[in-house]
Amino acid sequence: MNNFTFYSPTEFVFGKDTEKNVGELCQQYGASRIMIVYGGGSVVRSGLLDRIKKSLDEAKLVYCELSGVQPNPVDTKVYEGLELAREFKPDFMLPVGGGSVIDTAKTIAAGFYYEGDFWDFYCGKAKPVNALPIGVVLTIPAAGSEGSGNAVITNTKSHVKNGLRMPKLLRPKFAIMNPELTMTLPAWQTASGITDMMAHILERYLSNTPDVQIGDRLAEGMLLAIMEEAEKVMRNPQDYEARANIMWSGTIAHNDTCSLGRQEDWNSHAMEHEISAEYNVTHGAGLAVIFPAFLTYASKHNPAKVAQLAYRVLGVTESGDIAADALEGAKRLKAWLHDVLGMPVSFAQLGVDNPDLELLNTRLHRLKGDVMQGYMPLDAEATMEIYKLCL
């Protein structure tokens, strides 16, 4: 196990009606002027936004609103938010939604004190040294951004989708998590979120670091639990307990608990980012296409951990041929994503009939370098092979 530092200060307030505590929690963390950030109309139609405003009013807190954050959040909304923030001068950010809303709010929080272009943080020209504090009301369990210091934004001009990782600066002060708020999510969004959180676990699980049994068993147990609860929630979207287990899994999947002391991968995410940046597909759906292909490639080039996943999570019986067992595991995960969650598992099913693989692959390596390190070293020939496995 490698040395590590773990910092996770977020206060999680979990359960029914917890959104009613938002005013009190904002006060507790020193807020007086709050920027509420949200996406489309669901938080309005459901009455959630009104309940949040009522709580803030009762706490005598002042607020402004930034609405219209889209899935696969983009730089233009961040610029709009920064302009509003410099006019309103908030001392606290309050995203209400899922990962796209939270990541937009985090980026505004980091850019607020920076005199240059916030994109400098995403292209490596600068690092944020200060940020507005953040509290979250989560409505979509998927990205895990409510418990992480990460944010991902797409540049609309270059089509570059990149991430920022600042755990000591951008982890939320609190996260309100009411599973009831997820019961009206469309099946597609629920399934995409489940796929995303499973991918977050797998990115950490696929590691060559030896003697990380605790992390391995945590990851395997979470994957088994998610798959069990996912089947329940897809059959009955009103199953509170299944929703609760899924919601908490999304947080644990991405707050670094199961990645401590080990090398992580994240190359599948990098490959998917090129797809969703270019074709604006749902991130979780893109991962459902990429991850089985990645595991299929790995079964030939580094099968050990994929085979372990196959044995411990996917029900594969050891045959004595580790590569064949790993490949069978990849096939079973692909079938589960498609048959149980209804996820696409090819470019065509994703709605991208003629993907420009050369464009995706060239931009990927321009951003990530000639050879991407991780569970396997991946040069342009390797990643092209994986992209082709998605056809």
Instruction: Tell me the per-residue pLDDT of 169-179, one tens digit each, with 9 for 90 and over.
Output: 999 999 999 99
Which spans in the chain are helix H?
22-28, 42-45, 48-58, 75-88, 99-111, 119-122, 167-170, 187-205, 213-235, 240-252, 267-279, 283-301, 304-312, 322-339, 347-350, 357-368, 380-389
Q: pTM for the whole thing?
A: 0.94
CA-CA distance, 125 to 123, in Å (whole number)?
Answer: 6
Residue showing tokens 């994929």: 306
pLDDT at 41: 78
pLDDT at 153: 96
Among positive and negative, which fits the CA dihedral 140, 49, 244, 104?
positive
Backbone angles phi, psi at 106, to 5 degrees: -60, -40
**In contact, 262 and 214? CB cutoff 8 Å:** no
Instruction: Tell me the per-residue pLDDT of 108-137, one tens digit each, with 9 for 90 and over.
Output: 999 999 999 999 999 999 999 999 999 999
Domain spans of the chain, in order of start: 11-181, 187-390
Q: Which token pair is 387?
A: 């992209």
Question: Domain 187-390: which topology?
Answer: Dehydroquinate synthase-like, alpha domain (1.20.1090)
CATH for the stretch 11-181: 3.40.50.1970
Give the residue ranges of the chain where pLDDT is below 70: none
